[in-house]
Structure 1
Amino acid sequence: MTGTSNNIITFRRHDLDNLKTFLAGLVVLHHTTIPYGGSPESYLRSVVVHGPSPALLAFKSVNQSFFMGTYFWISGRMTAHSLAKLAPESLIGRKLLHLGIPTAFYTLFIIPAVRAVALPSWDLATIRQDVLQYWGSLGGVTGNAWYTATLLVLDVLAAIIVMARHSSRNLSSDVKSRDRKTTAASSNTRYSSDNRRLTFPPAPLVEKWAWLPVALVSFLIRTRLPGFPGGRAWTPLNLHLSFLPQYV
């Protein structure tokens, strides 16, 4: 709870606002490096830059070690807050609307439009052929839609876990525990926050040591997982699996 300049008390987390602003700026800088040697494999290249830039590659590597993971952490906090007020079924519906539809629209229409700009000819036949070829080759989401698609999957899984835990408690033979529970009558039923709090592993243990298994799993995926050398993107979500541990 903080105060504003006009002495209005608010529960808004301004520190999270500042963090999101910083991350948004970092994302812009991160992608701005692409044509200037920050991503040698990209088709977007400046005519004045030849080859990769060690400094920009180092800058991107440092960013990738934390900035998208931090975005998922912020999103996870918001999802937990929503689950404290909404029934899981209602949350899933909202996520499908707010994340699923934009992901599908971006993949099916925005990417073809971007590809069309780079075509040597803009006649209708050429554009139509390229769009049909793109649609025919789709195996999942493309481009930056990987973020919303992955976030949708994680949010749905979180809601399913909450539903499963709530159902298991309802089936408990403990009379005292059953008396405290209520059955959801509508999608707006408020669930007890106790039903959502995962008590294992303990939070202090996670905060102190979670980075270690994350780094180990990421390393093993990059070096040992067949078919994914260097963290190649997994097609359905267009997601680099080596980054997935820090997102979870």
Structure 2
Amino acid sequence: MTDDLARPALAVGPEPATGRPKAAARLLYIDNLRIVLTALVVLHHTAVTYGNIPAWYYTEPAKDGSGLLLDVFVMFNQAFFMGFFFMIAGFFTPASYERKGTRPFLRDRLKRLGIPLLAFLVLIRPLVGLGGFADLRAEFAEQGKDLPYWLYYVLSWDAGPMWFVEVLLVFSLVYALVRHRRARRLAGVGGEAGTAGRAPERAPRPLRPLAIIVFTVGLALATYLWRIVVPNGSYLPVLGLPTPSFMPQYASFFVIGVLAHRRGWPQTLSRGAGRMGSVVATVATLGYLPVVLTAGDGALDGHGSWQSLAGAAWESTFAVGVVLGLTVLFRERFQRQGPFAAFLSRHAFAVYLTHAAVLVGLGYAFRWLHAPAAVKFALVAALALPLCWAVAYAVRSLPRADRVL
């Protein structure tokens, strides 16, 4: 979501005479996709605030039926949007690595991902966690015990929404190590490793329907098996991952993003593939509804149940279908960007970094308002989106901040 991800471009190979990379063609539709996905992150956490899933720094559990609509929105979002972020990150990773080389690439990742992660942990998380600390401290006080903030901070440690950056750092490290070892192996057998072990340029290769089907089935089975050990609702306190049950999707989508860059898949996808992806996602959802409506408590979470297999199949099919549909739609309809969209894109990563503080602040500001959950969601969301970008602009205006964000 930052650096090369914030300035999407597609490398088009070396100049014949000089061997230097040609000027990159800017992929504005991916830029615009990132804007939409970032807005979905803000809306997602706003829905969590007022729905029935208490997994945020400030929540008001719904007291009416409209909270169920927010939970459904969260479920659909969760099925694809973070995986899509990882795919976009994977798509721009090879070009960044080849342009910089192993050590500069890793230094750049540490700077552009590590510094924002540290900023969140040191500056933002203490602020958004004050409410939870006050509630728990009051409980301790009733028992005659004291709870210092430093102890609460350590015991409740997590990376918040910046878990994405944390995992992306790991994926980047693994990618760099694989590429570095490949370059050394090529050099050892007398091959031309090139700059940073640059992979040979290939002509775009169309993505075949059978490959999509095989990948989707494989992802569904991997997710099902993974959730026998790591069911939905699991939490990894050391890493602070809120959704470790989706790790097969995150890792595989990152890899698919890398392959998509190598083989030019986004440019070769037909309009028919985009339409088919949307249709398949819709049909899969309709087929999954009876399972959702009849499943008992916890049956969809994992543990090897057949309902969990159905859930993994739906998530995988829905995610792949939506990614195909949105990629083709934005490539065909939104490969343009005016000043306003350019502004939104430039500040998208800063929005991701700071949106927790904005949403928690708005949550407390409207705590007095008694209204249906969907109404409060709509009100806070309408205020949060422009305010998040305004705060992001202020943050990026700080000295040197734009070099990281």
Shared fold (TM-score, shorter chain, > 0.5): yes
Opposite residue 116 of structure 1, the aligned amino acid is L
The higher relative CO (CA closer than 8 Å, separation ≥ 6) is in: 2
- 1:88 maps to 102
- TM-score, normalised to structure 2, is 0.47
More helix by share: 2
Moved over 4 A (4+): 40-43, 117-121, 202-206
1:241 is aligned to 2:258:
no
Which has the higher mean CA deviation after the structures are superposed, 236-245 or 147-156? 236-245
Opposite residue 166 of structure 1, the aligned amino acid is A
- 1:106 maps to 120
Deviation digits for residues 150-182 of structure 1, max 9, x if unmatched? 01000111011000111111121xx4x3xx345
Contact 1:112-1:131 within 8 A present in 2 as well = no
Q: Choose from 136, 156, 164 the match for 2:154.
A: 136
Alpha-carbon distance in 1 for matches of 2:34, 2:116: 21
- 1:148 maps to 165
Where does the alignment leave 5 or more consecutive residues of structure 1 unmatched? 2-8, 183-188
- TM-score, normalised to structure 1, is 0.73
Q: Choose from 25, 28, 51 the match for 2:39.
A: 25
- Give the RMSD, CA atoms, in angstroms: 3.3
2:86 is paired with a residue whose SS is: helix
1:34 is aligned to 2:48:
yes
Where does the alignment leave 5 or more consecutive residues of structure 2 unmatched? 1-8, 10-22, 136-140, 252-405
CA shift for structure 1 position 20 = 1.1
2:58 is paired with a residue whose SS is: coil
1:44 is aligned to 2:58:
yes
- 2:225 maps to 220
Cα 1:142/1:162, change in 2 over 3 Å: same
Opposite residue 192 of structure 1, the aligned amino acid is R
Alpha-carbon distance in 2 for matches of 1:55, 1:114: 26
CA shift for structure 1 position 93 = 0.9
Cα 1:51/1:106, change in 2 over 3 Å: farther
Identity %: 29
Q: Choose from 74, 78, 83 the match for 1:60.
A: 74
Alpha-carbon distance in 1 for matches of 2:236, 2:123: 21
CA shift for structure 1 position 62 = 1.1
Alpha-carbon distance in 2 for matches of 1:71, 1:24: 9
Q: Choose from 210, 213, 217 the match for 2:215.
A: 210
1:233 is paired with a residue whose SS is: coil
CA shift for structure 1 position 71 = 0.6
How many equivalent residue pairs?
217
